[in-house]
Chain A
Amino acid sequence: MDDPAVLHLQAERAEVARLHSWLAAAAADRRLPGDMLYGIEVALEEVVMNAILHGGIGGGDALITVALLAAPGAVEVRVEDPGRAFDPAGAPAPEVPRQLQGVVPGGAGLRLLRHFCPDISYERRDARNLLTLRFPLPPG
């Protein structure tokens, strides 16, 4: 297993730009395929924005820590935040919206996350959310 790339973000929306440039560099270092990077980016943006918008830590001093490492046959991304407990692996996914009226913008995030990362594990430890997203490497 390689040394993980690690990033600490403040819980504010503007920080997400740093998330994307860090991820691009970490993926390039590990020569991840472009298709795979897209899925990781969509999943990570969702998880981090969710912590910022709904975790009750936005604008404060709390840090969100993101780590990426190449594991055998997969890329593993870990996200740790001190926000409100939220298990995206266990939460019921909102239904696919049928009409614009009453749609909560952002309700689509959980479906996106699970589509791009089918292997999600969650743990709540010491008042922190610990999320592990595993993205299988394409064969060959």
Chain B
Amino acid sequence: MPIVVQTLAGNVTKVLVSGRIDATGAAELESELRQLTATRTSLLVDLAGVAFLASMGLRSLVAGAQAMRGRGRMVLLSPQRAVAEVLAVSGVDNLIPVFFDEARAISAVGMPLG
């Protein structure tokens, strides 16, 4: 599963995930997020290219957001309809903010920790 990491202005790290986050993809995503959450403080996970997400992928995202707690922020960007449904039904959208506009996502993730 392709994962591309970009550093944007303001020290925001964008993680572009594409393809299917099935059980195998979830393991790859979890290991990538584990590395990033250890060193970065503003993480934007772009899900626009993700065609499939289910319970294993949710675990990886929640584990990433938990690792960021207290030291940075992680948000999700532009999930496709079916992926957004999975985020909503599971309640994960309560835990990790979901944005459909990149500029808003960037300003949310760049906010100082309150």
Contacts and interface: CB of A to CB of B under 8 A. Distances in A.
Interface of A: 13-14, 16-17, 20, 35, 38, 41-42, 45-46, 49, 96-101, 103, 105-106, 108-109, 111-112, 115
B52 interface: yes
A96 B75 CA distance: 19
A17 B24 contact: yes
Interface string B1-28: 0000000000000000000101110010
Residue from the set B58, B62, B90 with the largest chain A CB neighbour count within 10 Å: B90
Interface string B42-80: 000000000010111011001101100100000000000
A112 B86 contact: yes
8 contacts: A16-B56, A38-B52, A45-B55, A49-B56, A108-B58, A109-B55, A111-B89, A112-B89
Given A96-B94, A112-B89, A103 B52 contact: no
Nearest to A113: B55
A29 to B, nearest CB: 20
Please name the 7 residue pairs, one residue from A and one from B, whose CB atoms are nearest each other, closest first.
A108-B90, A16-B23, A96-B91, A105-B59, A109-B55, A42-B54, A45-B54
Nearest to B55: A109
B94 A45 contact: no
Contacts of A49: 23, 55-56
Contacts of B92: 97, 108
Contacts of A14: 23-24
A16 B24 contact: yes
Nearest to B53: A42
Contact of B89 (A17, A100, A106, A115): A115
Contact of B56 (A38, A45, A96, A103): A45
B27 A108 contact: no
Nearest to A116: B89
B38 interface: no
Nearest to B25: A17
A54 to B, nearest CB: 12
B54 A106 contact: no
